[in-house]
Amino acid sequence: MAFEKNLEEARERAKKVKLFAHDVHGVLTPDTFLCDVEGRRKYSFWHMDGFGDLSLTANGIQIAFLDTTSIDEEGLVRARELKLDKFYYRVSDKLAKLEELKKELGIGYENIGYIGCEVTDISVMKSVGFAVATADAIDEVKEIAHYITTAPGGRGPIREVCEFILRAMGKWEEWVEKVTRMGYK
Amino acid sequence: MNAKEIAIEKAKKVKFVILDIHGILTDNTLYYTDDGKKSECFSLRDRLGCRALTEGGIGIAFLTSKITRTDEQVGKILGIPLEKLWGTSAKMSKLDEFEKESGLKDEDICYVGDEMIDLGIMKRVGFSVAPSDGSIEAKEVATYITRAGGGKGVVRELAEFILKAQGKWDSVIDRITKSG
């Protein structure tokens, strides 16, 4: 199914984002795991999604890993690797956590961005100002999203949406120039 | 009735789902390390599928020729009890045995398969399902073919189809979303 989205509207919504949240599996990963005969598991992440999250924090936008699905510590391990573990939350109710963060930051739902892919993301996506779906999200999620990434989960959706947000805010080019000169780590 | 309506009618009766592992829960790919250790790739969407089926009161078993330690670990992650991991290549007699002890009938059972070895059982059960990348023979026999290929959320999609047919999907997802 093709879903037409109004990019102008999506940009207007993205401009207001002060907190951008995402789950781990299905967004940062392709929602899969490798398992060997000893039960050891491997998870795949997308290198440049880390740059996406770091780009937002460097530009004054807070992020949040709302991890409901990690089997082991894969979500935390990834956040820690990016030195973003203070923004990592292991939660069961994502909407309740966002409500808490919203109060803490003194912002409204219009200032929250969120990217999701499953039925369990729908209530959050209906609440926030800027709702994004991955390319391989289920149809119901794509339907309510303001923006759909061309990348599926685990293949760079965060990198893509972070560029979209920073471009909407007019901060992207300056940021890229800065990174090119100074690096970002 | 068209094919979809027939599938919905059959899905309404399902009380138990039997899943072949290779090609259904996996994408058929085998990964080996240089020391000969094998891994396979599974979908976490299927964890949601298994959880939803269980919440909806539908039983699940894995049925494959041999249960490996990988399968046991995956069973744990997907919430399938050890006694429902069935390892035998005599799939039909396993089904006989299960029906006898559970009192379930062919029409209460959904079987998901993709290969020649699955055809007998697929013809027998009430609701047979094949993944989009299953063999031509399996897809010919199947009542329902998922959009997903093996290892890409076949069980997730099937769970939604069955639970929607039975009118349970929305309440099941509501419960899962609230409890994480």
pLDDT tops 80 at residue A175: yes
pLDDT tops 80 at residue A184: no
- The whole-model pTM stands at 0.92
- Is residue B45 less than 8 Å (CB to CB) from chain A? yes
A10, HSE (Cβ side, Cα atoms, 13 Å): 22
pLDDT tops 90 at residue A110: yes
Once rounded to an integer, what is the mean pLDDT over residues B19-31? 96
Are A37 and B178 an interchain contact pair (Cβ–Cβ within 8 Å)? no
Distance CA B102, CA B85 (A): 15
Share of chain B above pLDDT 70, in %: 99
Are B70 and A39 an interchain contact pair (Cβ–Cβ within 8 Å)? yes
3-state SS string for chain A: CCCCCCHHHHHHHHHCCCEEEECCCCCCCCCEEEEECCCCEECCCCHHHHHHHHHHHHCCCEEEEEECCCCCCHHHHHHHHCCCHHHEEECCCHHHHHHHHHHHHCCCHHHEEEEECCHHHHHHHHHCCEEEECCCCCHHHHHHCCEECCCCCCCCHHHHHHHHHHHHCCCHHHHHHHHHHHCCC
Task: Write the residue in A32, A122, A123 that is nearest to B42 by C-beta.
Answer: A32
Q: pLDDT class for A2, splitting at 50, 70, 90?
A: confident
Q: Residue-wise over A124-138: b if at least 16 C-beta within 10 A, else e?
A: bbebbbbbbbbbbbb
Beta bridge partners of B128: B111
Once rounded to an integer, what is the mean pLDDT over residues A117-134? 96
Are B180 and A25 an interchain contact pair (Cβ–Cβ within 8 Å)? no
Q: pLDDT class for A109, splitting at 50, 70, 90?
A: very high
Once rounded to an integer, what is the mean pLDDT over residues A145-151? 98
Q: How many residues does chain B have?
A: 180
Q: Please report the pLDDT score of residue A182 as a whole number.
A: 85
A7, HSE (Cβ side, Cα atoms, 13 Å): 5
Q: pLDDT class for B1, splitting at 50, 70, 90?
A: confident
Nearest CA distance, B4 vs chain A (angstrom): 18
Nearest C-alpha in B relative to A117 = B45
Q: What is the pLDDT of residues B109-166, one digit of tens each?
A: 999 999 999 999 999 999 999 999 999 999 999 999 999 999 999 999 999 999 999 9
**More reliable by pLDDT, A125 or B89:** A125
CB B17 within 8 A of CB B158: yes
Residue matched to tokens 């808490």: A100
pLDDT tops 70 at residue A131: yes
Q: Please report the pLDDT score of residue A142 as a whole number.
A: 98
Q: What is the pLDDT of residues B124-133, one digit of tens each?
A: 999 999 999 9
Are B151 and A32 an interchain contact pair (Cβ–Cβ within 8 Å)? yes
Q: pLDDT class for A183, splitting at 50, 70, 90?
A: confident
What ipTM goes with this model? 0.89
Q: What is the pLDDT of residues B52-110, one digit of tens each?
A: 999 999 999 999 999 999 999 999 999 999 999 999 989 999 999 999 999 999 999 99
Q: What is the pLDDT of residues B32-54, one digit of tens each?
A: 999 999 999 999 999 999 999 99
Share of chain A above pLDDT 90, in %: 95
Q: Please report the pLDDT score of residue B61 as a whole number.
A: 98
Strand, helix or coil for residue B101: helix
The pLDDT mean for chain A works out to 96
Q: Which of A33, A72, A98 to mutate to test the interface with B (most CBs of B within 10 A)?
A: A33
CB B162 within 8 A of CB B126: no
Q: What is the DSSP letter of B118?
A: G
CA-CA-CA-CA torsion for A162, A168, A169, A174, nearest 10 degrees? 70
DSSP β-ladder status, B16-19 and A112-116: unpaired
Q: Please report the pLDDT score of residue B179 as a whole number.
A: 74
Give the other-Cβ count within 10 Å of A38's Cβ.
Answer: 11
pLDDT tops 70 at residue B180: no
**Chain B residues touching A91 at Cβ < 8 A:** 180
